[in-house]
Structure 1
Amino acid sequence: MMRFIYTPVKRCLWCFLIFFLLIMWNNINTRGNEQKIVKEKERYYVNSGRCQMPYVNPFNDEVMKVYKRFQFIPCTNESDMVTLLYDEFMKKYVLHTNEEVVHQMIELNENAVACFYQKIVYGKHADVYDSLGNKTRFNQDYIVSYDVEGMLVECRTADETKVLQKDAFVLVQPPKKVKKIGSHRKPSIIMYGIDTVSRTNLRRTMPMIFEFLKSPGWYEMKGYNKVADNSFPNIFAMLTGFSPETAKTQICDTDLPKCLDNVPFIWKELKRAGYLTAYAEDETGANTFTYSKHGFSKKPVDYYFRPFLTALENNTLTTRCPGCQMKYCLGRRLANSYIFDYCRQFMQRFVASRPIWGMFWSNHFSHDDTFMLSGMEHKILTDLLNFERDGAFEHTIMIFFSDHGARFGPLMQMKEAFLEERQPMMFIYLPPWFRSKYPQYALSLAQNQNRLSSNFDMYNTLKHILRIAKMQKDSKVSWSYDCPKCQSLFYPLPVNRSCSEAAIKEEYCTCHRYEEVRDNTSNWRMAEMVVTRINQYLWQNHLQNLCANLTLRFVNATEVRVDNLDGNLNTKTGLRHYHSKFQVHQNLGEFFATILYNKDNEELKVNVELISRINMYGNDSVCVKNKIQKLYCICLTELKNI
């Protein structure tokens, strides 16, 4: 009987050796050495006539004054009493009881333990589980039936009076219907994402992973620029080619029930082309499609993790790491470990035999503290090494990416905060067979590494892969609705590309040069007017009885745009682009605004809904449900005496 262990992973000797050497290398890596290791020759990520995107030293003196490296925190030090195995011959999962662990825990014979599992029953509504099945006792090497996709496991003493260990597993079972896919080789796509990781912070907190991502076949999109403020609109653009605002007029309002069921997500087209599809996130509260939204009423993909996640959160002991709001451990395992295991099973089961698409997204260890990434470096590196060991990279186009950089916390007080927030990491891997068969696409991807790109280009790239899979005629047609001039990254991007051509608003564009303004009177007046506009916005949305009227407390910094790379510098009207970072009295809320302002006649133009909130606001806005309005509302009931 051939068995492959999914949880936990059996690592071979060379894996341990590499892992040990990498840890030793990382531990002796002093601040001075880090600066030498991460040397970058270019002064700019992008340097063209219409975009100058500056390189930022991840270890500059300003950042290193606040940078702290985290240690990995395990969820348990206990060995697994029950292991989930996969029998390659039978094509079924097996529950194996680890007798040595049993002996160690109860110091009795192997019959002195009774283990049970409960099936997690998939719900009628897509986003929740329906119920738990009856407790089923299992013996050694129990064969799990195909209808079990998730389970809670419990082992007790033989008299069932004492619980010895609880665990949980989620299983990728064979599809009920198998669609014929033909003999043409179709590239599989795996999108492995981590929330709130800028390209600079990746270099700072996970240097070993950055080194791994320099391996042959990997391409870093160094000019990748986000198109919106937070997770949902950035991921939405990548998966649909629409902004939520345009979708509201062209498809439906994503804030309304059942709308997401009708949105043309890329996975729908891939599924029709014969792909098996999967989607998984590790946090229900901050889930991309359910935070301040209604989620899906119908199962959106073939393998949808959220119902099992709700069962895990409700039926296991959940713990949070120090200073975290999100759940760190679900029972004995990291929340992220469930995502990785689900992704790995999905690839191990299918990638060698049929095309698959999956997005596996992790929030819990990166969202609340931007430096906590450093504590997860070895874990994520082991994930990537395991993908490599499985041979998954032989078949798969992998996208290792994020949605944006830090949006609050200590990095927002740095000189390069504007760049940190707007430049998420984006790495794309092309397998050897794809590079060999389509050398022109690999060449274009290499050329595009130092050219301006956006989420809409990424959407077009996914569409391009779909066209390759369907053997459709090669074409440079633009597929993204909200960016007519965007294109696939498998074609050379224009060298002199502007932010507007990539559908990146000035509020998010990192191509332009700003310099500090030292006019305290003008800076204060400008920020004061912006605060007035925020208050007017709250009134226009009938929130004045819920939200406090804001008053300016302090102007942190003001910058004015000094280049004219895109020809939009309006000297005739006197309007100039400014950045204003300021704080209000109410709960010390901090904001960052990009505005058009004429300091001579005090004409000001600002889109309030594009103003960023740059400090953690916790429960400040619990009285408001709308995700955007939450940024500007400080509830009267939550006002603090400061």
Structure 2
Amino acid sequence: NEELLKPKSKLTNNTHFGYNVLMFGFDSISRMTFIRFLPKTYSYLIQQLGATVMKVGDGTTAQFMAMLTGKTGLELPESRHGEKGAKPVDNYPWIWKKLNDAGYITQWTEDEQHIGTFQFRLSGFRHKPVDYYMRPFYLYAESKYFRKTTTENVLCFGNMTRFKTMLNWIQDFYNTYPNRLKWTLGFHAQYSHRDTNNLVPYADQELYEFLYEMNKTGHLDNTMLIIMSDHGQRYSELRSTYQGKLEERLPFMSIRMPPKFQQSTYVHNLRLNSHRLTTPFDIHETFLHMLDFNENYKSTTNRSYSLFQLIPTNRTCRDAGIESHWCACLQWKQIKDFQELPLINEIGQVVINYLNDLLSVVEEECARLELFKIHDVYELIPDKMMLKFSVSKDKDNRVRLFNEPEDAINALLKEQELKYYQIQLETRPGNGKFEVTLGYNSKHKKFDIEKKHMSRINEYGNTSHCIKFTKRKLSDICYCKKQ
């Protein structure tokens, strides 16, 4: 193996981070869910390993794209199933390509192949993306063990849990290459992707034992350890509540640096950053910083910072490239008695019309939707302090607000033409529940609505089977006429 995977370049301590990276994530677990359901692991991370838990983050569904490429889906070539010109994602600027060139051996494992991160909605890879790729194993194992049942109902491969199989493979990788730089990404969905997190506690003991053994054997002495999730639950009953809304947008993210690195200025900055707004783009920027490791490192884009640099205390969602629909830092004021307000009913119908417009390309297969019920409505109330601080970078002519007196700011906000609303509604047939953020221009009486600011918040299962292979991007909206 050492002969097969010779380093592609010789690294020096002056230009390179010099540590392994082990990143392990869970699907659909919020920060609070991780603390609630994985108490033994959480305690070991904090009390024994001294990990830093990032308190604020961005919970978009494209976390991995941001972390692994530094780009959004719109900035990358078309690869969505059913779209014209869609191609596999091999040519994306994956971070592991740079790491390979720098001498790292790379490893990637994730379960639940039918909902693979880059296979479910995208066209997947034509060639093996990393040095050690577990997808072929899972495809074979699933075909062997899951012939008579669905994958999520089988917890084991033989006499070993599927979760422990994944952890063992990572540990074997570290045992096989003790003297080589390694980059690992593990992602587990089986226990947490469904509409509840009831299976998540099954992972606690095995994940704790894995971390304990990795630490005991010295593997963590020279490894940057990242334990994380991509976002909170999107389809559970909790998701329909205000708490659930926040939890979807606040995933778990913890980072533990090697002991020899603990007293550096970089770790001091990391700990300060744990109380500041961070995003998946910052993780990608941190990886880039690792490959050009010096105190004068400058971020490659305005929307991202290396976590080894100090992130500004006044950073806003706008600065970080987080759209308002996903921003957990905004103040949403609940509108009570909204049934009496004509504008809210109009907003509900605007959303329904928009959904049906999207479905017009599949109107033969999908039922036309009707508004069944509006469950909740919020109006965006700008944070005045955030407005003051963000204005120095604002391109919308609001710089004068930086030192304006309070009454002047209040007057200006009152006159604001563009307002934002967030509405939770239910459609029929199918009882689909959606959360939509849209803008309303009160002067011109116009609405601004886009699909990327829309979330399906209850599970839709196989109700959109009729377009599964033709218009998968509409699967969360479509209710097939033939059920």
* TM-score, structure 1 normalization: 0.66
- 8 Å contact 2:227–2:253 — kept in the other structure? yes
1:499 aligned partner: 317
- 8 Å contact 2:191–2:199 — kept in the other structure? yes
Structure 2 counterparts to residues 406-417 of structure 1, below 5 A: 406-417=233-244
The Cα shift of 1:209 comes to 2.1
Are residues 1:628 and 2:473 paired?
A: yes
The Cα shift of 1:571 comes to 4.6
Distance change >3 Å, CA 610–CA 477, structure 1 → 2? same
- What is the rounded CA distance, in whole Å, between the counterparts of 1:303 and 1:262 in structure 2? 18
2:429 aligned partner: 586
The Cα shift of 1:516 comes to 1.2
Kindly, what percent of the aligned residue pairs are identical? 27
The Cα shift of 1:328 comes to 2.7
The Cα shift of 1:628 comes to 3.0
Are residues 1:222 and 2:47 paired?
A: no
Distance change >3 Å, CA 286–CA 616, structure 1 → 2? same
Write the deviation string for residues 518-545 of structure 1: whole angstroms up to 9, x where unpaired. Answer: 2213333222211111111222xx1222
Which residue among 442, 449, 461 is the counterpart of 2:274? 449
The Cα shift of 1:262 comes to 0.6
Write the deviation string for residues 518-577 of structure 1: whole angstroms up to 9, x where unpaired. Answer: 2213333222211111111222xx122222111111111111122334449965453311
- 8 Å contact 2:88–2:122 — kept in the other structure? no
Are residues 1:486 and 2:304 paired?
A: yes
- 8 Å contact 1:394–1:432 — kept in the other structure? yes
- What is the rounded CA distance, in whole Å, between the counterparts of 1:423 and 1:506 in structure 2? 14
2:403 aligned partner: none
- SS of equivalent residue, structure 2 residue 233: coil
2:423 aligned partner, one-letter code = S
The Cα shift of 1:464 comes to 0.9
1:384 aligned partner: 211
Indicate the structure with greater strand content. Answer: 1
Are residues 1:533 and 2:354 paired?
A: yes
- What is the rounded CA distance, in whole Å, between the counterparts of 1:183 and 1:319 in structure 2? 53
- What is the rounded CA distance, in whole Å, between the counterparts of 1:319 and 1:446 in structure 2? 49
The Cα shift of 1:597 comes to 2.5
The Cα shift of 1:318 comes to 6.6
Are residues 1:440 and 2:265 paired?
A: yes
1:193 aligned partner, one-letter code = G
Which residue among 96, 107, 128 is the counterpart of 1:267? 96
The Cα shift of 1:434 comes to 2.2
2:408 aligned partner: none
Are residues 1:177 and 2:9 paired?
A: no
Distance change >3 Å, CA 478–CA 288, structure 1 → 2? same
2:67 aligned partner: 238
Structure 2 counterparts to residues 100-499 of structure 1, below 5 A: 174=2, 176-179=4-7, 181=10, 184=13, 186-215=18-47, 216-226=49-59, 228=60, 230=61, 233-248=62-77, 252-253=78-79, 255=81, 258-316=87-145, 325=152, 327-350=154-177, 352-368=178-194, 369-436=196-263, 439-468=264-293, 473-480=294-301, 484-499=302-317
2:453 aligned partner: 610
- 8 Å contact 1:244–1:253 — kept in the other structure? no
- SS of equivalent residue, structure 2 residue 25: strand
The Cα shift of 1:178 comes to 1.9
Write the deviation string for residues 438-463 of structure 1: whole angstroms up to 9, x where unpaired. Answer: x1100100100100010101110111
- SS of equivalent residue, structure 1 residue 222: coil
- 8 Å contact 2:121–2:473 — kept in the other structure? no
- What is the rounded CA distance, in whole Å, between the counterparts of 2:297 and 2:291 in structure 1? 14
Write the deviation string for residues 382-440 of structure 1: whole angstroms up to 9, x where unpaired. Answer: 2222222222210100110111100011211322122111111000110012224xx11
- SS of equivalent residue, structure 1 residue 279: strand
Write the deviation string for residues 201-248 of structure 1: whole angstroms up to 9, x where unpaired. Answer: 11221222222221354111111222x3x3xx2101110000111113
1:577 aligned partner: 420
Write the deviation string for residues 179-200 of structure 1: whole angstroms up to 9, x where unpaired. Answer: 2645747111011111111101
The Cα shift of 1:601 comes to 6.9
Aligned residues: 445
- 8 Å contact 1:254–1:260 — kept in the other structure? no
**Which of 1 and 2 has higher RCO (CA within 8 Å, sep 6+)?**
2
- 8 Å contact 2:372–2:426 — kept in the other structure? yes
Write the deviation string for residues 464-505 of structure 1: whole angstroms up to 9, x where unpaired. Answer: 11223xxxx54342225xxx2311010010001100111110
- What is the rounded CA distance, in whole Å, between the counterparts of 1:303 and 1:606 in structure 2? 42
Moved more, 593-602 or 329-338: 593-602
- SS of equivalent residue, structure 1 residue 631: coil
The Cα shift of 1:289 comes to 1.5
- SS of equivalent residue, structure 1 residue 547: coil
- What is the rounded CA distance, in whole Å, between the counterparts of 1:622 and 1:583 in structure 2? 20
- What is the rounded CA distance, in whole Å, between the counterparts of 1:379 and 1:557 in structure 2? 40
1:341 aligned partner, one-letter code = N
- 8 Å contact 2:11–2:102 — kept in the other structure? no
- 8 Å contact 2:69–2:93 — kept in the other structure? yes
- What is the rounded CA distance, in whole Å, between the counterparts of 1:303 and 1:479 in structure 2? 29
Which residue among 537, 542, 555 is the counterpart of 2:374? 555
The Cα shift of 1:581 comes to 0.5
- What is the rounded CA distance, in whole Å, between the counterparts of 2:416 and 2:66 in structure 1? 34
- SS of equivalent residue, structure 1 residue 278: strand
- What is the rounded CA distance, in whole Å, between the counterparts of 1:365 and 1:175 in structure 2? 38
The Cα shift of 1:603 comes to 2.7
- What is the rounded CA distance, in whole Å, between the counterparts of 2:216 and 2:229 in structure 1? 24
Structure 2 unpaired stretches of 5+: 388-395, 397-411
- What is the rounded CA distance, in whole Å, between the counterparts of 1:335 and 1:380 in structure 2? 12
Rg comparison, structure with higher value: 1
- What is the rounded CA distance, in whole Å, between the counterparts of 2:229 and 2:3 in structure 1? 29
- SS of equivalent residue, structure 2 residue 115: coil
Which residue among 438, 442, 459 is the counterpart of 1:595? 438
Distance change >3 Å, CA 583–CA 182, structure 1 → 2? closer
- What is the rounded CA distance, in whole Å, between the counterparts of 2:108 and 2:332 in structure 1? 40
- SS of equivalent residue, structure 1 residue 536: helix
- What is the rounded CA distance, in whole Å, between the counterparts of 1:573 and 1:218 in structure 2? 44
2:300 aligned partner, one-letter code = W
1:459 aligned partner, one-letter code = H
- SS of equivalent residue, structure 2 residue 174: helix
Q: What root-mean-square deviation, in Å, do the aligned CA atoms of Structure 1 and Structure 2 show? A: 2.3
2:142 aligned partner, one-letter code = E
The Cα shift of 1:325 comes to 4.1
- 8 Å contact 1:275–1:356 — kept in the other structure? yes
The Cα shift of 1:294 comes to 2.4
- SS of equivalent residue, structure 1 residue 554: strand
Moved more, 373-382 or 339-348: 373-382
Distance change >3 Å, CA 455–CA 320, structure 1 → 2? farther
* TM-score, structure 2 normalization: 0.86
- What is the rounded CA distance, in whole Å, between the counterparts of 1:403 and 1:214 in structure 2? 20
